[in-house]
Amino acid sequence: MSLIKDTLSRIQQSSPGEPEFYQAVEEVLESLEPLFKKEKKYSEHNIIQRIVEPERMITFRVTWIDDKGKIQVNKGYRVQFSSAIGPYKGGLRFHPSVNSGIIKFLGFEQIFKNSLTGLPIGGGKGGSDFDPKGKSDNEIMRFCQSFMTELYRHIGDTIDIPAGDIGVGGREIGYLYGQYKRLTGSYEGVLTGKKIPWGGSLARTEATGYGAVYFADSLLTSRNDQLAGKTAVVSGSGNVAIYTIKKLIEMGATPVSCSDSRGFIYHKTGINLNTLQQLKEQGKNESLEEYAKIHKDAKYTPVKDYPKGRNPVWSIKCDLAFPSATQNELNLADAKELLKNGCILVAEGANMPSTPEAVHAFLEAKILYGPGKAANAGGVATSQLEMSQNASMLQWSFEEVDGRLRNIMHNIYLSASQTAEEFGQPHNLVLGANIAGFRKVANAMIDQGAV
Ligand SMILES: NC(=O)C1=CN([C@@H]2O[C@H](COP(=O)(O)OP(=O)(O)OC[C@H]3O[C@@H](n4cnc5c(N)ncnc54)[C@H](O)[C@@H]3O)[C@@H](O)[C@H]2O)C=CC1
Ligand SMILES: O=C(O)CCC(=O)C(=O)O
């Protein structure tokens, strides 16, 4: 269609070499076609041309000194994509694969995800190609301090509020926050994902994983089904995967896998969360290999033994799948395998983990499919709850925050499914989430004039 083709060809020309960004844009635009047919105001106000162009993209040099005294250089990014409905909000990713296209795809997704939460937050994202693996604590600290020395002038508690993502957890947020305070002298909620004694929110650490499971629960309930008794495959073994596994266990399901960039574990009787958490806290690269040494009935498969072009996590027989590692980790062949094995639900903890072909296969099969921007929105929603607590100088209980998270996830489900129904495709939550998220942002853009 011309809306998609024209927009893609324009962004390919103006932003060459950013395939993940084009992928994210194409998926959203495909879903928006029925809305554009129904309501002309979005074309009249040229919303698409405006929304695919970030309000601001900041790139900067991050110079830091390693433990040997050598000067190292990385690249830092912050995309401030849309402030139509609130201050820019989104995580920071530290991973060697980070480049402008990755940051822009994540920032673009964040616009609609944040809108879906029903909270007043705009879309942003940032990060660096810095690789935290194998770095000492002091190296991480020096890197974070240098990163913030550039970033601090662009952020603020009502301007742009970064948080964590891959490679950025409580430790990194601490070093970033310390440096922000040193530079500005201001104790404000400028970052979320802070530790509890210095402004963090209870349940933020758990929120993305818990939220994905709450979302799955809403999906299953819509078909008079439940999590209890189901077998689940989970990929990743970081923040999102661990708290997905924890909540699945609490709700009576059996998560049987986890993975990292070196390999995966299949533990048919169920992942032992204590072992996994203890090994991950030790921070060794070999934690999943160690897991299989401790639990003899678990099988570890290294990446070098994966069949070409496949992620064998998705070949494990299961009822439910929670991709919780990274983008494009589940392709069409993987999707077909999941469907062949009787998987009835996919809830994406990661951002854009399924390739477009895999997404189409899920939609065609009419299984319960929760796209990342809906299913993993619990993390950013709880970040906004952290901002609210910071602004009012209060701290809510775990139960209070968790209860709000659960409601927010159910409301996201309702908003996506009711919108999907409105457009005559009740099972299609990709369409529902994209239209519901877009409509609010686009209407705000129209109200605010040509800015
Ligand atoms: N932390 C949060 O609150 C949120 C995270 N997400 C998304 O969830 C996903 C996971 O993020 P976190 O758990 O926060 O990060 P993390 O750094 O805690 O964990 C990332 C996990 O993914 C694995 N991984 C990374 N690249 C991989 C690759 N190429 N192949 C296989 N495994 C790989 C890592 O080994 C690790 O187990 C990402 O897509 C992130 O954007 C989405 C919403 C919020
Ligand atoms: O908590 C946040 O602000 C951001 C979380 C995030 O990066 C995401 O939703 O992908």
Please tell me whether residues 95 and 215 are part of one structural domain: no
CB of 380 within 6 A of ligand 2: the answer is yes
CB of 353 within 6 A of ligand 2: the answer is no
> How confident is the model over 157-195, as pLDDT tens digits?
999 999 999 999 999 999 999 999 999 999 999 999 999
Atom of ligand 1 nearest to the CA of 93: 41
Mean pLDDT confidence for 428-439: 98
Please tell me whether residues 174 and 80 are part of one structural domain: yes
In-domain check, residue 35: yes
Please tell me whether residues 17 and 62 are part of one structural domain: yes
CATH of the domain at 57: 3.40.50.10860
Structure tokens at 29: 């635009």
The answer, yes or no, to whether residue 82 has pLDDT greater than 80, is: yes
Catalytic residue among 5, 41, 75, 125: 125
Please tell me whether residues 170 and 215 are part of one structural domain: no
Structure tokens at 68: 């040997």
CA of 411 to the centre of ligand 1 (A): 25
The average confidence (pLDDT) of the chain is 97
Residue 340: pLDDT band with limits 50, 70, 90? very high
In-domain check, residue 402: no
Mean pLDDT confidence for 419-441: 98
Q: Are 54 and 14 contacting, i.e. CB atoms less than 8 angstroms apart?
A: no
Q: Whose CA is closest to atom 3 on ligand 2?
A: 90
In-domain check, residue 383: no
ipTM for the complex shown: 0.98
> How confident is the model over 310-319, as pLDDT tens digits?
999 999 999 9
Which pLDDT score, from 0 to 100, does residue 284 have?
84
For the stretch 386-390, contacts whose Cβ atoms lie closer than 8 Å and that sit 24 or more positions apart, written own/partner, are 386/189, 386/192, 386/193, 386/194, 386/199, 386/200, 386/201, 386/204, 387/157, 387/161, 387/189, 387/192, 389/189, 389/199, 389/201, 390/157, 390/188, 390/189, 390/199
Which pLDDT score, from 0 to 100, does residue 158 have?
97
Which pLDDT score, from 0 to 100, does residue 148 have?
98
In-domain check, residue 434: no
Q: Are 210 and 247 contacting, i.e. CB atoms less than 8 angstroms apart?
A: yes
Please tell me whether residues 109 and 226 are part of one structural domain: no
Q: Where is the domain boundary, 345, 370, 395?
A: 370
On whether 89 is known to bind a ligand per the annotation, the reply is: yes
Please tell me whether residues 23 and 167 are part of one structural domain: yes
Please tell me whether residues 209 and 176 are part of one structural domain: no
Q: Are 251 and 228 contacting, i.e. CB atoms less than 8 angstroms apart?
A: yes
> How confident is the model over 259-290, as pLDDT tens digits?
999 999 999 999 999 999 999 999 888 899 99
CATH of the domain at 221: 3.40.50.720
**Angle (deg, nearest 10), helices 100-116 and 378-392:** 70
> How confident is the model over 203-233, as pLDDT tens digits?
999 999 999 999 999 999 999 999 999 999 9
Ligand nearest to the Cα of 190, by number: 2
Please tell me whether residues 276 and 179 are part of one structural domain: no
Q: Whose CA is closest to atom 29 on ligand 1?
A: 261
Which pLDDT score, from 0 to 100, does residue 283 have?
84
Residue 1: pLDDT band with limits 50, 70, 90? low
In-domain check, residue 231: yes
CB of 139 within 6 A of ligand 2: the answer is no
Q: Which residues line ligand 1 (CB under 6 A)?
A: 164-167, 208, 236-241, 259-261, 324-326, 349-351, 376, 379
On whether 239 is known to bind a ligand per the annotation, the reply is: yes
Q: Whose CA is closest to atom 38 on ligand 1?
A: 350
Return the percentage of the chain with pLDDT > 70, whole number: 100
In-domain check, residue 430: no
The answer, yes or no, to whether residue 426 has pLDDT greater than 80, is: yes
Q: Where is the domain boundary, 351, 370, 389?
A: 370
Which pLDDT score, from 0 to 100, does residue 285 have?
83
Give the structural domain span for 12: 2-187
Please tell me whether residues 47 and 134 are part of one structural domain: yes
Number of domains in the chain: 2
In-domain check, residue 292: yes
> How confident is the model over 117-162, as pLDDT tens digits?
999 999 999 999 999 999 999 999 999 999 999 999 999 999 999 9
Which pLDDT score, from 0 to 100, does residue 213 have?
99
In-domain check, residue 62: yes
The answer, yes or no, to whether residue 331 has pLDDT greater than 60, is: yes
Q: Cα-flanking dihedrals φ and ψ of residue 78, to 5°?
A: -145, 120
Q: Whose CA is closest to atom 15 on ligand 1?
A: 166
Please tell me whether residues 225 and 153 are part of one structural domain: no
Q: Where is the domain boundary, 338, 370, 402?
A: 370
Please tell me whether residues 333 and 262 are part of one structural domain: yes
On whether 383 is known to bind a ligand per the annotation, the reply is: yes
> How confident is the model over 21-56, as pLDDT tens digits?
999 999 999 999 999 999 999 999 999 999 999 999
Answer yes or no: 125 catalytic.
yes
Please tell me whether residues 93 and 230 are part of one structural domain: no
